[in-house]
């Protein structure tokens, strides 16, 4: 699974650390880290929570054009 650089950029754009975003969406820091590194595929529920916390959409953060 590819790294989720869009999530990392959006989080940095909001000046949030992984820990702060994790607290906002109610998960552990290691889960946010694993999503950004592409090591964990989050559920749609968590994707939506992250999008809400960062004021963005699923398309912006989780859609990949050339996904295999």
Partner 1 sequence: MKNMKNNLDEMQEAKLLQIEHNGCWLAFWGLLAAIVVELFVFGVENMRYFIGEWVVFMALCVYLGEACLRNGIWDRRLKADRKTNAIVSLIAGAAAGLIFAAISLVRYHSVPGAIATFALLFVFVGLCCFLALSLTAKEYRKKLAQLESEGDENAE
Which residue in the set 18, 20, 24, 27 belongs to the binding site for partner 1 (CB under 8 A)? 27
Query: Does the footprint of partner 1 cover residue 19 (CB under 8 A)?
Result: no
CA 41 to chain centre: 10
> Length of the chain in residues, anyone?
68
Binding to partner 1 (CB under 8 A): which residues in 37-66?
40, 42-43, 45-46
Quick one: which segment of 9-17, 28-36, 58-66 binds partner 1 (CB under 8 A)? 28-36
For partner 1, give the closer residue by CB, 13 or 26: 26
Give CB contacts under 8 A, 24+ apart, made by 13-20: 13/54, 14/54, 14/55, 16/54
Structural tokens at position 5: 């650089």
């Amino acid at each position: 699974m590819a790294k989720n650089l869009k999530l990392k950029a959006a989080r940095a754009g909001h000046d949030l650390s992984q820990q702060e975003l994790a607290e906002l969406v109610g998960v552990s820091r290691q889960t946010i880290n694993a999503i950004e590194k592409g090591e964990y595929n989050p559920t749609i529920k968590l994707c939506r929570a992250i999008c809400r916390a960062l004021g963005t959409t699923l398309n912006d953060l989780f859609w990949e054009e050339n996904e295999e």
